[in-house]
Structure 1
Amino acid sequence: MTGQLSFPRQHARTQRFTLGAPRAFTVAPDDSRVVFLRSRSGTDRANLLWVYDLAERREYPAADPAALLGGAEEELSAEERARRERSREGSAGIVGYATDLAVELAAFTLSGRLFASELRAGVTRELPAPGPVVDPRPSPDGRRIAYVAQGALRVRDLDEGAGGGDGGGGDRALARPEGDTVSYGLAEFIAAEEMDRSRGFWWSPDSDALLVARVDEAPVRRWWIADPAHPDRRPAEVAYPAAGTDNAEVRLVLLGLDGSRTEIEWDRRRYPYLARVHWSAYGPPLLLVQARDQRSQLYLAVDTATGRTRTVHVDEDPVWLDLFPGVPSWTPDGRLVRIADEGGARVLMVGDRKLTSGALHVRSVLDVGDEDVLFSASPGADAALPEGPGEIGVFRAWFRGSGDQGGWEPVGERPHPAVSSAVRGGEVVVLSYAGLDRPGATVEVLRPAADGSADRLAEIPSHAERPVITARPHLVFAGERDIPCAVLLPYGHSEGDGPLPVLMDPYGGPHGQRVVAAHNAHLTSQWFADQGFAVIVADGRGTPGRSPAWEKAVRDDLAAVTLRDQVEALEALAERYPLDLSRVAIRGWSYGGYLAALAVLRRPDVFHAGIVGAPVTDLRLYDTHYTERYLGHPDEQPKVYAENSLVTDEGLSGAAEPHRPMMVVHGLADDNVVVAHALRLSSALLAAGRPHEVLPLSGVTHMTPQEQVAENLLLLQVDFLRRSLGVS
């Protein structure tokens, strides 16, 4: 039985307790139903498409992958595998879907085949289409489905009587690739990996045209990812835009269903990054394009008759400009909705009107209504310091009315503190929240009222498994900078038991907030604590959720700033918790792996062992949009790159005595942080006479979804820590 499993096995088998949890919600605009994905159990990887009928208070499956595939295993195309890797998607079955405007029709793929679901009836059928099909999306009127196949953008009529086209049933290509390096309708690597833009085409509100990204990867440098465990297999070719090298060429074209084609014009040399596209009935198509140095960006409105664009707004920042989910967009009366850094705060803007103050740190826009904006936010720099860090709430702010400042209020009742998110359609909100007092998340369907209250219409059940351990994090602020921290002690530990060996367990870098007020986020750290350690997770400067200045403090100095804050947090917490500072280790993955290597190399007086997982060790080998945001262009700032990298002479010059044990772990199939990072670090350590261990993971990417790998990786890490710190 699952309850008899060890935590490492359960954690791996349930994919970090995400399987069986409902997700990817869509609410019908008539408030009649909620559509979502969920697998049948906490160990089942295959998601079904579900509908919750709000009138009848019942749920039913609209599409079951097992039935649709006849029990056959899924077969994923290279494009689909890449999309899932970019989104860190480890589940199976239906992993994504799109609907028409009325939420009557849903489209999705299985094994590269095209399926459409009639959501009211709960009936799904396969549609003939040349494949493999990628990212199908119904038109707003529900009469057609657009999708990508073999680099072409195709449209299929749902009228069975329509004829013509090479796919049958009114299926035709609106744009075909002109060469092997060209594709239509797909997001390029840098957009999907770093800009949070996974889409490459957008329907017009009238369903008669599409804006389509044309991507040419010819300028991008080629890398080859080999599998040393299978020398008989050809290496995979990857177009990887490393820092300082050329990006893919991205254009935008307007394709009419009548066969017309219009090139969208903007200064692509000055603003090469197509970061966002928004097209709604409230205004013309809206683009957000960004300069390569990410210090300026334009909001552009598109003239669909000519393809010309006009500038609606300009953002400039001397450090960098962040991109946010849900913006830019239009209000129903045609005002621009955006998130801006103003006066030391991250605020919500509608037109020229600021709707929030420094009391909130706005993170994303969730929905724009007739009179208000639904958004997520954390306590801001001007708010009184909360009792503990990690709160993320859902709010709504009104933009209709007078005055310079709008009002806002939280949406729904939830435990405090908590981490919340929401989706809205019509007057119904699906609110998901997780707190510290129970595992998993609760999903409620609400109808908020004008007085701030909300009618609770339903709760969508989760089938996620209950963890065999309970996380007991202490969420605190530490040090002079009030660094957000989570402290976890072994189950049953008391003050009389004496000091504990310490494990720092950070991510510690941009985009990676680890200290959150949600139980499941701390389960792995708690398991390490239960092995006899005091575990500390510290979100120093550079991590999201505090203020623009907090996040941007790492510009040109990732290494020193983030490492300094880990040390400050550790030393401050030693005054409050039973920490044995003579036995301190650090572990991390990705940026956390980079930080762990920095710690044992540059501060061996503080850190006595390190587990370095999938680290970025030579920042010239990481991608353009991420790396250049923080360190500039390597041709313009070579010294900055050298000082922040681990394998350069300047980077290793910061290494100090004594040598500390280090375990370097890396997936050989990783196409995001390629294994060359770990190999170059190992070579540099060997040349410097520094002993270390290297654990290669055959067939593993930047994720570790394989059950046995994920389980044994945790066990091997504990063994290394005990050996290195002398813990029995």
Structure 2
Amino acid sequence: MTSPEITFPLQLARTMRFTLGAPRAFTVSPDGERVVFVRSGSGTDRSGRLWVLDLSDGAAPRERVVADPAVLLGGSAERLSPQERARRERSREGSSGIVGYAVDAAAELAAFALSGKVYVAELRAGTARALPVPGPVIDPRPSPDGRYIAYVSKGALRVVGADGEGDRALAEPEDADVSYGLAEFIAAEEMQRPRGFWWSPESDRLLVARVDDSPVQRWWIADPANPDRKPAEVAYPAAGTPNAVVRLFVVGLAGQRTEVVWDRARFPYLAQVHWSSDGAPLLLVQARDQQSQLYLAVDPETGATRTVHVDEDPVWLDLFPGVPAWAPDGRLVRIADEGGARVLAVGDRPQTGAQLQIQAVLDIGESDILVTASAGERATEAEIGESHVYRVNELGVERVSEGAGVHTAVRSGRVAVMVSTALDAPGSTVRVFRDGKQIATVPSHAEQPVLSARPQLTEGGARRIPCAVLLPTGYKESDGPLPVLMDPYGGPHGRRVLAAHNPYLTSQWFADQGFAVIVADGRGTPGRSPGWEKAVKHNLALTLDDQVEALHALAERFPLDLGRVGIRGWSYGGFLAGMAALRRPDVFHAAVVGAPVTDQRLYDTHYTERYLGDPATQPEVYAYNSLLTDEGLSHAADQVRPMMIIHGLADDNVVVAHSLRLSQALLAAGRPHEVLPLSGVTHMTPQEKVAENLLLLQVDFLKRSLSR
């Protein structure tokens, strides 16, 4: 039971935003007898354990632990290699213990990395053991037949028998800048591709990515609080600079290799790879400008490729979870932007229309495809922020999830696991279905928050911008207008207005400190329509325009004091907050600017060039979208607004140079500001005391800055 003395900032930090203890990373066995998942022991326990829910016909569902890090490590502390730390940073993984796993085709054998070693777990028997292989180990994955484990160690792709015998290297790096079997930085950070090798369905060979980082510029991440330590060297492909060279090979278990051939000069990005028994190996490769991409089928004997489909878009092409893939009948499954909607396409035919905006493919079955989708621009006010699970086939579209909220699912055969969140209840519920009938639940050990969020979901302005408004607990109309805190992410990939409880807990805490808090998803944010997202091409300032429009529209219906408006944000939200204070001081009176991208030339290629193009050919676009240029600093010089700039010194995604250059520019312009450097902190801020005190310092700054 949660102690009544605990404060929300401390609880939020200690529970890692209430994610600890919640079950996640589900796998359903094809025979429908097991659901595999990761869950820690409590809402404050950071160490994940591997669990199995047994679903044998005729027996009551039963949970059991099959791998416990405390037992496997004998009480020793977990040790992570720098490569594993970087991998977890890319996936925003802040917990410890077992944080991920992979299974064979039957979901009878699992493999995972723990403290730099390979472990395998027999899921039926419930036993786990380490394999005697060289480390430190990254990303171990069983072959589909369960006989082998492939893994990466020191840049080499290696394979070992599941019994621990026959360990050997299949592909070894030729020099220090080369690795086999790992995703390069931008694939893991931006392309939703965390992997670098894929087993064949027959378990006799693998597709293996070879990454050569030698063309990539080197940056140095220093630790100023510890001057005796050397700076960490990072290969960072900033906008307009060379990327890593990525090649792909078919590698046999005896080490023989065949290179996969495509026009890498024209399509350098290896965005997605799929290899199943339903067809040849399938690649999705993109042009650097991301306005064209090819779906390629690979001949694994020769390495030759043939084009299955071509996508082109004058703005950009997005990547989506679960696709591309083959349907059982051999047709290509993809998500495409057609007719103003994001549709599911099978073969040459769209299977959905303008009524849905497809977000991801969850499972491809014999007779249907399971997807998540939102109603997008067609959503009524009662449907704002919802995402549902749908079954799609030749007969039409059927919604599977029930109740308002945000839903997703994992399915194999007759069994599906549905994960659901709702606006009026904290956390998530996990239900297990067989043939559409609920047969079990998977309980969560996550803590109950010490406060309840009460967001009002609505729309603001002529563009019907999705918004959430949160007022202080117990607020009465007689209390009068409130100072306002805009609390957005507000940019690409970040949907904040959701029909779920937990995303608003921090906003509610700020509201309870005496603010009216507004979360607004303007143009550029996902889930509404392709046009809504792509409107920000070359002009990220539109995201600020929409924050202003939402604010002024909501002031007509809510008790907002427009003479006291603050804004806070992190990452893109930090950029948006900085832009608000600099470009619209007539609207915003204070800003908390967290880990901001202040100079777009310092951010990575795949992300930045998608929105702003090539800085060598469009320098004016980069200047306009920078906070450091005259364009960024010249607005209303007579209206100087207080800014608190926060940045982790160990951040290798948005490096601290962004904030230091902003501070330098502000100082040169005579603009007062505060800078809060976070020693040893990355882009995530998982440290408990840091995360707790960050909230307290922000609210103190906002109260000081917005007081009259």
TM-score range relative to shorter protein: over 0.9
SS in 2 for 1:51: strand
Aligned residue number for residue 647 of structure 1: 628
SS in 1 for 2:538: coil
Per-residue CA deviations over 1:14-47 (Å, capped at 9, x if unaligned) read: 0000000000000000000100000000000000
Greater alpha carbon shift after TM alignment, 244-253 vs 653-662: 653-662
2:30 is the counterpart of 1:29:
yes
Following superposition, the deviation at residue 386 of structure 1 comes to 4.0
Q: Which amino acid in 2 is paired with 1:509?
A: G
Q: How does 1:218-257 map to 2 (within 5 A)?
A: 218-257=214-253
Q: How does 1:324-339 map to 2 (within 5 A)?
A: 324-339=320-335
Query: 1:684 pairs with 649, 665, 673, which one?
Result: 665
The separation in 2 between residues aligned to 1:643 and 1:527, in whole angstroms, is 35
Following superposition, the deviation at residue 425 of structure 1 comes to 1.1
Aligned residue number for residue 151 of structure 1: 155
Aligned residue number for residue 697 of structure 1: 678
Following superposition, the deviation at residue 159 of structure 1 comes to 4.1
Per-residue CA deviations over 1:290-345 (Å, capped at 9, x if unaligned) read: 00000000000001111000000000000000000000000011000000000100
Query: 1:407 pairs with 389, 396, 414, which one?
Result: 396
Do 2:297 and 2:308's aligned partners in 1 also have CA atoms closer than 8 Å?
yes
The separation in 1 between residues aligned to 2:706 and 2:271, in whole angstroms, is 46
The separation in 2 between residues aligned to 1:236 and 1:467, in whole angstroms, is 38
Do 2:401 and 2:407's aligned partners in 1 also have CA atoms closer than 8 Å?
no
The separation in 1 between residues aligned to 2:636 and 2:210, in whole angstroms, is 46
Q: How does 1:91-102 map to 2 (within 5 A)?
A: 91-102=95-106
The separation in 2 between residues aligned to 1:386 and 1:340, in whole angstroms, is 26
Aligned residue number for residue 451 of structure 1: none
Aligned residue number for residue 17 of structure 1: 18
- 1:690–1:475 Cα change, 3 Å: same
Aligned residue number for residue 180 of structure 2: 184
Q: Which amino acid in 2 is paired with 1:425?
A: S
Q: Which amino acid in 1 is paired with 2:48?
A: N
Q: Which amino acid in 1 is paired with 2:305?
A: T
Aligned residue number for residue 542 of structure 1: 524
Query: 2:643 pairs with 617, 641, 662, which one?
Result: 662
The separation in 2 between residues aligned to 1:385 and 1:116, in whole angstroms, is 48
The separation in 1 between residues aligned to 2:139 and 2:368, in whole angstroms, is 31
Aligned residue number for residue 552 of structure 1: 534
Q: How does 1:84-483 map to 2 (within 5 A)?
A: 84-159=88-163, 169-381=165-377, 383=378, 385-399=380-394, 406-413=395-402, 415-416=403-404, 418-448=405-435, 454-483=436-465
Following superposition, the deviation at residue 437 of structure 1 comes to 1.2
Following superposition, the deviation at residue 387 of structure 1 comes to 2.1
The separation in 1 between residues aligned to 2:141 and 2:503, in whole angstroms, is 33
Greater alpha carbon shift after TM alignment, 386-395 vs 591-600: 386-395
The separation in 2 between residues aligned to 1:2 and 1:567, in whole angstroms, is 40
SS in 1 for 2:661: helix
The separation in 2 between residues aligned to 1:531 and 1:123, in whole angstroms, is 50
Do 1:94 and 1:108's aligned partners in 2 also have CA atoms closer than 8 Å?
yes
The separation in 2 between residues aligned to 1:59 and 1:39, in whole angstroms, is 14
Following superposition, the deviation at residue 366 of structure 1 comes to 0.5
Unpaired runs of at least 5, structure 1: 161-168, 400-405, 449-453
The separation in 2 between residues aligned to 1:9 and 1:551, in whole angstroms, is 35
Q: Which amino acid in 2 is paired with 1:135?
A: D
Do 2:120 and 2:162's aligned partners in 1 also have CA atoms closer than 8 Å?
no
Following superposition, the deviation at residue 656 of structure 1 comes to 4.1
Following superposition, the deviation at residue 3 of structure 1 comes to 3.5
Aligned residue number for residue 579 of structure 1: 560
The separation in 1 between residues aligned to 2:235 and 2:3, in whole angstroms, is 42
Per-residue CA deviations over 1:501-560 (Å, capped at 9, x if unaligned) read: 00000000000000000000000000000000000000000000100000000000012x
Q: Which amino acid in 2 is paired with 1:466?
A: Q
| Percent of residue pairs identical | 72
Q: Which amino acid in 2 is paired with 1:395?
A: Y
Do 2:43 and 2:447's aligned partners in 1 also have CA atoms closer than 8 Å?
yes
The separation in 1 between residues aligned to 2:381 and 2:320, in whole angstroms, is 24
Following superposition, the deviation at residue 388 of structure 1 comes to 4.4
The separation in 1 between residues aligned to 2:287 and 2:4, in whole angstroms, is 52
Do 2:240 and 2:601's aligned partners in 1 also have CA atoms closer than 8 Å?
yes
Q: Which amino acid in 2 is paired with 1:120?
A: R
SS in 1 for 2:579: helix
SS in 2 for 1:44: coil
Per-residue CA deviations over 1:361-415 (Å, capped at 9, x if unaligned) read: 000001100011100000033x35342410011111014xxxxxx41111143x2
Do 1:358 and 1:380's aligned partners in 2 also have CA atoms closer than 8 Å?
no
Greater alpha carbon shift after TM alignment, 333-342 vs 2-11: 2-11
Q: Which amino acid in 1 is paired with 2:189?
A: E
Do 2:582 and 2:632's aligned partners in 1 also have CA atoms closer than 8 Å?
no
Q: Which amino acid in 2 is paired with 1:408?
A: V
Following superposition, the deviation at residue 682 of structure 1 comes to 0.2
Following superposition, the deviation at residue 134 of structure 1 comes to 0.4
Q: Which amino acid in 1 is paired with 2:426?
A: P
Do 1:242 and 1:622's aligned partners in 2 also have CA atoms closer than 8 Å?
yes
Q: When the two structures are superposed, what TM-score results if normalisation uses the length of structure 2? A: 0.99
2:69 is the counterpart of 1:65:
yes
Do 2:583 and 2:632's aligned partners in 1 also have CA atoms closer than 8 Å?
no
Per-residue CA deviations over 1:480-505 (Å, capped at 9, x if unaligned) read: 00000000000000111100000000
Q: How does 1:574-613 map to 2 (within 5 A)?
A: 574-613=555-594
Do 1:594 and 1:615's aligned partners in 2 also have CA atoms closer than 8 Å?
yes
Q: Could you list the runs of 4 or more consecutive aligned residues of structure 1 that deviate by over 4 angstroms after TM superposition?
A: none
The separation in 2 between residues aligned to 1:618 and 1:691, in whole angstroms, is 20
